[in-house]
Amino acid sequence: MSSLFSKKNKEVFSAPLGMNNPVTVQVLGICSALAVTAKLEPAIVMGLSVTVITAFSNVIISLLRKTVPNRIRIIVQLVVVAALVTIVSEILKAFAYDVSVQLSVYIGLIITNCILMGRLEAFAMANGPWESFLDGIGNGLGYAKILIIVAFFRELFGSGAVLGFQIIPSSVYEAGYLNNGLMLMPPMALIIVACIIWYQRSKHKELQDK
Amino acid sequence: MKALRNYLNRIKPNFEPGGKYHAFRSVFEGFESFLFVPNTTSKTGTNIHDAIDSKRIMSIVVIALIPALLFGMYNVGYQHYLYTGAVGGFWEMFLYGLLAVLPKIVVSYVVGLGIEFIVAQWKREEIQEGFLVSGILIPMIVPVDCPLWILAIATAFSVIFAKEVFGGTGMNVFNVALITRAFLFFAYPTKMSGESVWVASDSIFGLGKTVDGLTAATSLGVASTAKVADAYPAFSWDMVTGLIPGSIGETSVIAILIGAVILLWSGVASWKTMLSVFVGGAFMAYIFNEFGPETAMARMPWYEHLVLGGFCFGAVFMATDPVTSARTESGKYIYGFLIGAIAIIIRVLNPGYPEGMMLAILLMNVFAPLIDYCVVQRNISRRMNRIK
C-alpha cells in the first residue's frame, strides 16, 4: 500500500495546488473563474463540482486509455465528461437547487473547461487510474482554491458579506462607506486573479518568465 | 535662483548612497530635476536631446489646466450659492469653491505621488513625472460631491493597475486620469452620476449653507431622461461660459479653450487630434440630428453636444495625451475623429450613459497602436510599390 502514497504520487497531488496551479500558472479555466465568483457559495460549489468531475473523468479515461483508438479519443473524452457533468448537474438540481440556479449554465459549461480536457490529454492518457485520480483531485482543488480566494474578496468588497452573512457592520455604511460595484463585475475578478498571479510569481522566482 | 541652487548642492550629499537620508534619494532627485534642468548627460550611444524634457512638458500642461481649474472652483461656489439660495459675493463663491476642491487635489496628489515615490524608491529608479498632470486632472473630472475616500481608492487603483504594472510613465496603455474616473463610475455609480452629486450641498467653514436632498441634474442628464424628443435643454450662453452644474473642471468652454491655446502655442498637444475630435463629434451629432431616433439626446443640436459635458475637456486635455494617443500624423486624424464620433454615439444610443467621452477615449486608447500600425504599413507598401 505504501506505493499508493509514494513521494511521486504526493507530488502529483500537491503540485497543482501550488507551483503548477491550473489557474495561476497554466492560466486555464479563467472564463468560469470570472463568471461564478461574485459570491462565495456558488464558487465553492463550482470548485467542488469541477474537482469531482476532473477526478472521475481522469479515472475513467485512464482505465480506457489502452482500448480507445487514438483518432477518436477526443470524442470519447467528451462523452465521459459530458456524462459526469450531467450527473453532477442533476444532483445539484435535486439537493442544492438555489445554488444550481445561481450557477445556471456554468455547471453545464464545465464540459468546455480547459482544465478538464487538459488533464485528460496531458495526464490520464499516459498514467494509471490511481495517479490520474490524485491528479484530478489536485487540479480540481487547485482550481477551487483560486475560485474561493477570488470570490471571498469579491463578495467582501462587493456586497460587504461572506457566504451571505453581513461582515461589514451597518455603522460603517452610515459613516459613508459604499460597496464597490465594480467588484461584482467580471473585470474585477480578472484583476484579482492577476494579483494572485503577481503575488505567486514574485514569491517564486522559478515561475518568472525570462 | 542662485541661492536655491546652492542650497540644493549643499544638502545633496545627504541623499547620495551612504548619506543620512539615502532612503529619500528618488524624492530629492525628483524635486531637484523639477526645479532645475539636470546637468547629467547620457553615457552610452549617440543621443539627440530635445531642449524640452518631459517635466517641462508636464508643467506646461498643468499651466494650461489652471484657467479651467480656477473657473471650476468659482463655478462650484456659484452653483452652490445659486441652488441653496445662500447670499454671497464673487470672492465668497470663489473661496467656497476653493475649499471644496482643494481637498480633492491634495488627496489625488498625496495618494498618486506617494505610490510613485514608493515604487521609484523600490525599483531604484528616478521618480517619473507623469503624475503631475494626472494628479490635477483627476479632481477636475469628478463631481464636487464625490467623497474623498473613494477618490483615494480610485487614484491608487489607477496608478497601480493602469500605470505601474505597465512599467510607469510613458508605458501606460490607458489614460490614467480616465481610468480613475472609469473606476469611480463603475464602482460607485451613486456618487458619480445622477442628480445629487453635481452641486455641493454642505456649508464649509461657515461659508454657504447646508441643504438636505439638494438635486441638480447636468444638462446631459436632463436630455438623457427627457420623455419627449424636443425636451432637451435649450442652448444658452451659460453652457459656453460654464455656469452650469457638471464635473469640476469640465463646464467652461472658454476656460478650456484658453488651455487649448496654451497647449497648441507651446506645441505640446497636437492640433490634428484636437480638431478631428471636434469634427468627429460635430459630424456624428449632425447625422443624429438629421436621421437619428426620436429622442431628446439625438435631437439636441450638434453645437450643443460639443459644448456640453466633458466633450471639450476630453478633446483638449485627454485625447491629446501624447502617451496614449496615436503617434503617426495621419493616424491622429483617424484617432481623433473616432473619439468624437463614438462619444456622441454612446451619448445618443446608450441611455445608461449620458456622457460618452470617457468611454470613447478609453476605447480609442486601445486602438491607437493599431491605427499607427496600419498607417505605417500603408506607407511602407505605398513606397514599396515605387520600386516595382
Assess B183–A contact: CB distance below 8 Å, yes or no: yes
Domain annotation covers residue B147: yes
Domain annotation covers residue B352: yes
Helices (H) and strands (E) in chain A, counts: 10, 2
pLDDT over 70 at B154, yes or no? yes
Predicted-complex ipTM score: 0.83
Domain annotation covers residue B206: no
Domain annotation covers residue B357: yes
Domain annotation covers residue B8: no
B70 and B176 fall within a common domain = yes
Q: Which residues of A touch B (CB under 8 A)?
A: 176, 178, 180-183, 185, 191, 198
Contacts with A180 from chain B: Cβ below 8 Å = 153, 187-188
Across the interface, do A182 and B187 touch by the CB < 8 Å criterion? yes
Hey, of B153, B166, B188, B366, which one would you mutate to test binding to chain A, going by the most A CBs within 10 A of its CB?
B188
Let me know how long chain B is: 388
Across the interface, do B161 and A178 touch by the CB < 8 Å criterion? no
Domain annotation covers residue B272: yes
Give, in order, the Cα–Cα distances in Å from A136 to each of A36, A64, A130, A131.
21, 16, 10, 9
Contacts with B165 from chain A: Cβ below 8 Å = 198
What is the helix (H) or strand (E) element at residue A155, kind and residue range?
helix A129-159
pLDDT over 70 at B104, yes or no? yes
- Of B157, B172, B191, the position where a domain reaches its end is B191
Report residue B31's pLDDT band, with 50, 70 and 90 as the boundaries.
confident
Let me know how long chain A is: 210
Closest partner residue to A185 (CB to CB) among B161, B186, B188 is B186
Residue A99: CB atoms within 10 Å? 18
Distance from CA of A104 to the nearest CA of B (A): 25
B383 and B250 fall within a common domain = yes
Distance from CA of B386 to the nearest CA of A (A): 42
End-to-end alpha carbon distance in chain A: 42
B156 and B272 fall within a common domain = no
Higher pLDDT, B117 or B178: B178
**Mean pLDDT on B298-311:** 88
Higher pLDDT, A3 or A26: A26
Count of domains forming chain B: 2
B303 and B380 fall within a common domain = yes
Report residue A2's pLDDT band, with 50, 70 and 90 as the boundaries.
low
Domain annotation covers residue B221: no
User: What is the pLDDT at residue B39?
Assistant: 67
- Of B176, B191, B206, the position where a domain reaches its end is B191
pLDDT over 60 at B315, yes or no? yes
Domain annotation covers residue B315: yes
- Of B129, B163, B191, the position where a domain reaches its end is B191
Report residue A1's pLDDT band, with 50, 70 and 90 as the boundaries.
very low
What is the residue range of B72's domain? 55-191
> Is residue A6 helix, strand or coil?
coil
Q: Which residue of B has its CA nearest to A181?
A: B187
Across the interface, do A178 and B188 touch by the CB < 8 Å criterion? yes
CA dist B119 and B6 (Å) reads: 29
Residue-wise pLDDT tens digits, A25-77: 888 888 888 888 888 888 999 999 999 999 999 999 999 988 888 899 889 99
Strand A165-166 with A161-162, pairing: antiparallel
Contacts with B187 from chain A: Cβ below 8 Å = 180-183
B247 and B383 fall within a common domain = yes
Q: What is the DSSP letter of B207?
A: B
